[in-house]
Chain A
Amino acid sequence: MSLNIPLEKYTGSIRETIIGGSNKAVKIGGESVLAFHKFEGNIPNKPLVALGVCDIKPTDWAEAAIEPFKDCLDNPTAWAKKCVEEYGADVVCIELLGTDPNGENKGPEEAAEVVKGISENINVPLIIYGSGKSEKDTAVLKKVAEACQGKNVLIGASKEDNYRSVGAACLGYKHSVIAETPIDVNLAKQLNILLNNLGLPMENIVIDPSTGALGYGIEYTYSVIERDRLAALTQSDEKMQVPIICNLGKDSWKTKESKISQEEMPSYGDVKKRGIMWEAVGAMSLFVAGANVVVMRHPEAAKLVKTVIEELL
């Protein structure tokens, strides 16, 4: 019996989305095979790790995630600069947690100021997430889109209940949009179609499938990403042929397993290393499933994952 490995029959490929305007712009997507299946096709752009920055000092993260930035948590611009200059971030993701109506409830202008400050001081591409509260995001993301005019950023999340306004803002100011749906292929496809019908080219849409951290539903995200990729690549579903982004860091560092001290839970071992591994193992799983961008928090976890991605390509 001679060795005969059946190849996957790919009939489609993922569109390329460009983020950023300067010479440091990055491309995501473009692949015509499943994740890291380089032996049977083309993967022109490597999957990216984005480092997260918040507009306010986060209150619910593990100590270890805060520590690398403890000198700049009150200053988002300095924080973002540190991500780039010290930790070599290819992309920075700003999360406007401060705009959360149940939290500090900062206004759209204030949020736009923060984003503007960062965008003028670093030269890597930007991803911007609102608070995730749809109604508020409608107002916040519109201002943010305006403030970033000409920078070609990736803005999200647009959801079923606010895609019109978020999508329109991205279209108007020439940005790309993140389309977020709750762990479901059909819902993802539907939202892509709706955004596309608004006039946004498919090249400017990126799927956020909703991300659970390791131990907190990551298996749902993992499988929906695999299904999304199969739909796009082997079933030629054009409306699914866009890159995928997962915002993992924020949930990973909130988990009990990343936070609880070794004193309280001796069998869990060193809390810092544990948190880093929790985030890195989660991110690696998502990349193996087919994510194009994963937003992470800890520079060491990010670096680890980046090194392994290099080796895989």
Chain B
Amino acid sequence: MGLSGIEIFKKLPKKNCKECGVPTCLAFAMQLAQGKAELSLCPYVTDEVAAELSEASAPPIRTVTIGVGDNALKIGGETVMFRHDKTFENPVGFAILISDSMSEGEVDDKIKQFNETSFERVGLNLRPDLLALKSEANDTNKYASLVKKVAEQTEGNIILISESKEMMEAGLNCCKEKKPLLYAVTSNGGSDIAGLAKENGCPLAVKGANLEETAQITERLVKEGFKDLVIDSGARNIKQLLEDQIKIRRAALKGKYRPLGFPTITFPNEMTNDSMKEAMYAAIMVAKYAGIIVLSGFDAPRIFPLLVQRLNIYTDPQRPMVMEQKIYELNTPSKNSPVIVTTNFSLTYFIVSGEVEGSKVPTWLCIMDTEGLSTLTAWSAGKFVPDLIAAYIKKIGIADKVEHRKIIIPGYLAQIKGELEDELNNEWEVIVGPREAGDLPTFLQRIA
């Protein structure tokens, strides 16, 4: 953000006419500085001042949208170097590369990989985001038919890759309405492509030979009125690429250096022929600042861990992921299976359910809403305490699912056993489980 209330105030008309809804221009300026008001509420600011203020208050890294509608991918907009300072804003997009020189079968296979990659986790659907379509055959018809096919057969966002205006135009004609990312303007070419981006309102990628050159190109484009840029520093070895990513974010956030204040696009697919290594490069880019990662394929063993890594890196460190409050049926439990209860902190759930599933013992897992706190934290915060747990047990209807009346609690909460039994009107026997989930399998096998 940057501008203080006073700095903004200096630029306001100072009429104190109240038309903006607050008593004075100063009060309005303060609200603007806090992001609580819109500049357009004041009818008297000149266009010039409006432009100046919006430029000065623009975020240090621009948010760029690729695509349209609910499926559109937003990248950039980041405000910190480290996720513990503030949540990383817009998760990095994963793209699969498809070239018009690939065989029909290969193309179909990649499209299928894109469409079928989907993993369920914490109630979320983990999916990749983009298809990067590269023109290599030097044949407008071929390129157009590839783009057409992809636009028809997938809901994904599109990156068009070509340095030739003809190819780009052919591709763009088949997917204009999807507002694809056009890749790329370079130092010695691509001004035609920039023209196409402008005409069609598409975001535009820039590729330099190094950081300096990249910044020179974006600076030029910004002067020409381009806003939605995505940058490729040109690095194609992991050491240089990581260095560039760190420098780009630093320059934008700490140096307020506008020419690098854009999300980045990276190409692990061009950096190695070894698919496992490619995934390693991608993992580094997920952690360190890429906006888009282009991969050669989305085979499950590679893309699944990367999607989970992205989920982990981009979660809000202050607000843990939570599971839905309900009874989870592990290993198809029956009327005689043990009942265990714990909190809805996703980590607690994953660890406990993982151990129970591994044990193969059929089990009812009752997950209680504790606002995403771990067992001990929730207990300390008064959210996983006997009266609340008892109320939950009564409400959730586990009594209808089992014939026995035994409930297992986490070992760390041994001290609540008596009180919890009282709260449950002594209708249930409370059994203290082991402290560590790792010891649950032995414990369950013993009592089952």
Contacts and interface: CB of A to CB of B under 8 A. Distances in A.
Co-complex (A, B): yes
A222 B280 contact: no
Contacts of A259: 358
B358 A254 contact: yes
Contacts of B226: none
Contacts of A311: 237-239
Interface in A197-215: 212, 214-215
B250 A281 contact: no
B308 A215 contact: yes
Contacts of A212: 347
Given A274-B300, A285-B309, A308-B277, A267 B242 contact: no
B189 interface: no
Residue of B246, B260, B308 contacting most chain A CB atoms (<10 Å): B308
Interface of B is mostly: helix
Interface string A114-130: 00000000000000000
Interface string B251-278: 1001101111000000000000000110
Nearest to A215: B308
Nearest to B358: A60
Given A268-B304, A277-B302, A312-B238, A6 B254 contact: yes
B177 interface: no
Contacts of A165: none
B395 interface: no
Given A215-B312, A259-B358, A222 B287 contact: yes
A237 interface: no
B220 to A, nearest CB: 11
Residue of B304, B353, B442 contacting most chain A CB atoms (<10 Å): B304
Interface stretch (A66-74, A168-176, A187-195, A223-231): A223-231
Interface in A260-311: 267-270, 273-274, 276-278, 280-282, 284-285, 288-289, 304-305, 307-308, 311
Nearest to B434: A102
A218 to B, nearest CB: 5
Interface of A is mostly: helix
A217 interface: yes
B247 interface: yes
A24 interface: no
A305 to B, nearest CB: 7
A103 B442 contact: yes
Interface string A63-99: 0000000000000000000000000000000000000
Interface in A16-72: 36-39, 60
Contact of A288 (B251, B284, B350, B442): B284
Interface string B120-139: 01000000000000000000
Given A218-B312, A274-B305, A285-B309, A223 B358 contact: no
A36 B285 CA distance: 13
A6 B247 CA distance: 8
Interface string B414-448: 00000000000000000000100001011000000
A215 B284 contact: no
A284 B284 contact: yes
A288 B288 contact: yes
Contacts of B287: 222, 284-285, 288-289
A56 B119 CA distance: 35
A223 B250 CA distance: 18
B312 A222 contact: yes
Residue of A38, A218, A311 contacting most chain B CB atoms (<10 Å): A311
B205 interface: no
Given A3-B211, A223-B317, A305-B280, A267 B300 contact: yes
B215 interface: yes
Contacts of B215: 1, 3
Interface in B295-321: 299-302, 304-306, 308-309, 311-313, 315, 317
Nearest to B247: A5
A172 B306 CA distance: 45
Given A227-B84, A267-B119, A285-B287, A6 B238 contact: no
Given A102-B442, A216-B347, A3 B212 contact: yes
A288 B287 CA distance: 8
A267 B211 contact: no
A219 B250 contact: no
B83 interface: yes
Residue of B277, B280, B434 contacting most chain A CB atoms (<10 Å): B280
A226 B82 contact: yes
A223 B83 contact: yes
A257 interface: yes
B354 interface: yes
Contacts of A216: 347, 350-351, 354
B118 interface: yes
B279 interface: yes
B281 interface: yes
A312 B219 CA distance: 30
A255 interface: yes
Contacts of A217: 347, 350-351
Contacts of B254: 6
A305 B302 CA distance: 14
Given A5-B247, A36-B242, A267 B118 contact: yes
B445 to A, nearest CB: 11
Given A103-B442, A214-B309, A256-B357, A1 B83 contact: no
A304 B82 contact: no
B309 A3 contact: no
B52 interface: no
Contacts of A273: 276, 301-302
A8 B82 CA distance: 13
A268 B126 CA distance: 12
Contact of B279 (A37, A223, A277): A277
Contacts of B211: 3, 5
Contacts of A218: 309, 312
A261 B237 CA distance: 35
Q: Please name the 4 residue pairs, one residue from A and one from B, whose CB atoms are nearest each other, closest first.
A: A269-B300, A273-B301, A274-B301, A219-B312
14 contacts: A3-B257, A4-B257, A6-B251, A37-B246, A60-B441, A103-B442, A214-B309, A219-B317, A285-B283, A304-B280, A307-B277, A308-B281, A311-B238, A312-B238
Given A37-B246, A284-B284, A288-B288, 17 more contacts: A3-B212, A4-B255, A6-B254, A36-B242, A214-B305, A214-B308, A214-B309, A218-B309, A254-B358, A257-B304, A259-B358, A269-B299, A276-B276, A281-B306, A282-B309, A288-B284, A308-B238
